[in-house]
Amino acid sequence: MIRQFVRGLVALSVLAVSTFASAQAAWPERDISLTVMYGAGGNTDLMTRLIARHLEGALGKPVVVLNKVGAMGTLGPDFVSRQKPDGYNLGIVTASTIALAPHLVPVKFTLADFEYAAAFANPRFGVAVRADSPYKTMQDLLDAGRKGDIFFASGAALNSLIIQNIATAGKSKFGIANYKSGAEVSAALLGGQVQAILGNPADILPHIPTGKVRLLASASPARWPEAPDVPSIKELGIEAGAESWTAIAAPKGTPKEIVKKVEAAVLAIAAKPEFQDALSKLGNDPLRIPGAEFEANVKRRSAEWGEALKTVNLQK
């Protein structure tokens, strides 16, 4: 009797393991959710929808983009961290939203609450004003800031840090108004609510041909390929640029085999010239960074940015 009971338990265990392994092997069997932390139409949203389309081809199932906006981009990662770790709940994470923003706003997640698949993009940044602005150069903007005349619009924690770093390096001072998306940042500039923005190419480039916006400087290490005549702040002697790797992650506990499949798919997509070209046109430098390397990077960045925030006196 006891032997039969034990044999029954063993059989059930083997069946459970076999069923679990079979389920993982069959993944994905239905739609996959991909959560992004910023609003529709901004740079991060656009690159999310771009890679979602490519993931659908690679994985053979629809990838549905969900926008979870707010709290300096931390609501999206928080939502992802609390989802069922079954491989059907993925999310976009950026270095700025999980390694920087938690120093500024209260969050419920930690860096250990995710399984990291791979990073695929690094957004570019730039300083822009309205085309009818009296500020023609970065020096004009810095000079005005010393008089207390300049308010920037920002849509992310990293953008705010770059603005503060520029002000400190240029011995100036800027006010910052925070918005939920790049589209709102652009609207604030065009509507005259602010005098300048620190944005991505997707927030700035569409308004240059229309004669509404002027790019003063690239806030990335190099000039923008779309605006080769506009200098970088580094060329102007301002060391204040930053990077924010963009990656796909899953809730902690998502089976390793599934995370590895996502990692392989993302790295393969990121190697395609057509994807790189589309990503670049949105204003991002293509990357191919495995999950382990991305995780090590955000841990290092979290410590570095925590110290940098103290230096520029940005507090929670």
Instruction: Dump pLDDT digits (tens) for 272-296.
Output: 999 999 999 988 999 999 999 999 9
* pLDDT range class, residue 308, cuts 50, 70, 90: confident
> Backbone phi, then psi, for 75, in 5-degree steps?
-70, -35
Residue 316 predicted with pLDDT over 90: no
Q: What is the pLDDT of residue 17?
A: 45
Both tokens of 167, joined, read 């002000």
Within 13 Å, how many C-alpha atoms sit on residue 217's CB side? 26
Both tokens of 150, joined, read 């300049």
The DSSP annotation for 203-214 comes to HHGGGTTTTSEE
Q: What is the pLDDT of residue 56?
A: 98
In the chain, % of residues over pLDDT 70: 91
Distance between CA atoms of 91 and 104, rounded to whole angstroms? 21
172, 146 in Cβ contact below 8 A? yes
Residue 147 predicted with pLDDT over 60: yes
Structural domain spans, the chain = 27-123+243-311, 126-218
Distance between CA atoms of 225 and 84, rounded to whole angstroms? 41
State which CATH number among 3.40.190.10, 1.10.10.10, 3.30.1360.70, 3.30.1490.20 fits the domain covering 126-218.
Answer: 3.40.190.10
247, 291 in Cβ contact below 8 A? yes
Distance between CA atoms of 190 and 207, rounded to whole angstroms? 9
Distance between CA atoms of 247 and 46, rounded to whole angstroms? 14
Task: Taking residues 75-94, report their average pLDDT.
Answer: 98
Q: What is the pLDDT of residue 2?
A: 57
Q: Do domains 27-123+243-311 and 126-218 have the same CATH topology?
A: yes
What single DSSP character describes residue 100? I
pLDDT (tens digit per residue) in 28-77:
999 999 999 998 888 899 999 999 999 999 999 999 999 999 888 999 99
**In this structure, which amino acid lies at residue 235?**
E
- Specify whether domain 27-123+243-311 bears CATH 3.40.190.150: yes
